[in-house]
Amino acid sequence: MSTQTGELAIAVISNEGRRVDPPAIPAGMKVLDVGCGAGPTLIAHCGDRYSFGIDIDWNVLAAGKALTEKIGFTCGRAETLPFRDCTFDFVIARVSLPYTNIPKSLSEIRRVLKPQAQLWAVLERPSLPFHLGLYRRPRFYVLLPYIFFNTALFHLFSISVPFVDGKYRGYQTVAGLKRALRKTGFEEIKVVRSIHLITMARRSDTG
Ligand SMILES: C[S@@+](CC[C@H](N)C(=O)[O-])C[C@H]1O[C@@H](n2cnc3c(N)ncnc32)[C@H](O)[C@@H]1O
């Protein structure tokens, strides 16, 4: 099964256990998906409008472009979003923020959201490697000291640091996530624990 087929399967097959859905997004809302991959979330939930997706990986964007013309795909980083202030009514970030500098990405997401607009994001709990069996892979132990350090930094101080390859990995706690969202200018923060951490937060009016 190809990558995009796998992602799409998670997005559109109703009994796929790993699927995590955003809430219904009212028609007319302008939506951005940060770390969109091939666009499975937008394809499944925003097919009634033209929406926007950004990802760092050209290959997944090319796969998405082959699937739909209703998404404006952009190659770029969550930490430096190439959109004007107050552009979007709703931002999705499904399992992408853990691979970025989270405080910088949240700050950029806040900037491009309109006041009172909402972020829906899925993050990764420290228990996830056990659910997914990642601990069976030798590479997990190579990265473990860094992952532990980056997870603790985010939990305690809302800081993300990259590994030596410049990439970010780590897990998020409810307390760390809420603190980072508050510091960045979000309010009405709700976090639900499942295998993942699912959060909804509203951009504050001020700042
Ligand atoms: C686990 S995949 C999730 C893809 C999609 N959101 C979904 O739910 O199927 C994580 C995605 O984040 C993207 N990504 C990683 N670092 C990024 C960054 N700094 N800025 C934007 N996208 C990034 C990856 O290329 C990848 O497509």
Instruction: Assign residue 117 a region (left: φ > 0; alpha: ψ between -120 and 50; beta: otherwise).
Output: beta
**Confidence bin at 134 (pLDDT 50/70/90):** confident
Residue nearest to atom 14 of ligand 1 (CA): 35
Mean pLDDT of the chain: 91
pLDDT at 22: 96
Could you tell me which of 139, 138, 140 has the C-alpha nearest to residue 128?
A: 140
Cα distance between residue 169 and residue 146, in whole Å: 8
Ligand 1 mean position, distance from CA 35 (Å): 4
Ligand 1 mean position, distance from CA 57 (Å): 8
pLDDT at 206: 75
Q: What is the maximum alpha-carbon separation in the chain?
A: 47
Ligand 1 atom with minimal separation from the 7 CA: 9
Ligand 1 mean position, distance from CA 26 (Å): 24
**Confidence bin at 135 (pLDDT 50/70/90):** confident
Q: Which CATH number fits domain 3-15+27-203: 3.30.300.30, 3.90.1150.10, 3.40.50.920, 3.40.50.150?
A: 3.40.50.150
Ligand 1 mean position, distance from CA 186 (Å): 22
198 φ, ψ (degrees, to nearest 5)? -110, 125
- Asked if the model's pLDDT at residue 127 lies above 70, the reply is yes
Residue nearest to atom 24 of ligand 1 (CA): 35
Long-range contacts, stretch 52-59, CB < 8 angstroms, 24+ apart:
52/83, 52/88, 54/78, 54/81, 54/82, 55/96
Say if ligand 1 is within 6 A of residue 40 CB.
yes
- Asked if the model's pLDDT at residue 15 lies above 80, the reply is no
3-state secondary structure of 190: strand
Q: Where do the domains of the chain lie?
A: 3-15+27-203
Element (H, E) at 182: helix 174-184
Query: pTM above the 0.85 mark?
Result: yes
Cα distance between residue 176 and residue 154, in whole Å: 6
Say if ligand 1 is within 6 A of residue 95 CB.
yes
The CA dihedral of 188, 191, 197, 198, to the nearest 10 degrees, is -60
Q: Which residue carries 């999705």 as its tokens?
A: 92
Ligand 1 mean position, distance from CA 100 (Å): 9
**Span 113-126, mean pLDDT?**
97
pLDDT at 3: 43
**Confidence bin at 166 (pLDDT 50/70/90):** very high
Ligand 1 mean position, distance from CA 185 (Å): 23
pLDDT at 130: 85
Could you tell me which of 79, 76, 86, 81 has the C-alpha nearest to residue 30?
A: 86
Cα distance between residue 95 and residue 19, in whole Å: 11
Which token pair is 55?
């990802």
Could you tell me which of 142, 24, 181 has the C-alpha nearest to residue 90?
A: 24
Ligand 1 atom with minimal separation from the 101 CA: 19
**Confidence bin at 60 (pLDDT 50/70/90):** very high
Say if ligand 1 is within 6 A of residue 21 CB.
no
Query: Counting runs of H as helices and runs of E as strands, what totals does the chain give?
Result: 7, 7
Ligand 1 atom with minimal separation from the 167 CA: 16
- Non-local (6+) Cβ contacts of 47 within 8 A are 70
Report how far Cα 178 is from the mean position of its chain's Cα atoms: 15
Ligand 1 atom with minimal separation from the 57 CA: 25
- Asked if the model's pLDDT at residue 14 lies above 60, the reply is no
Say if ligand 1 is within 6 A of residue 124 CB.
no
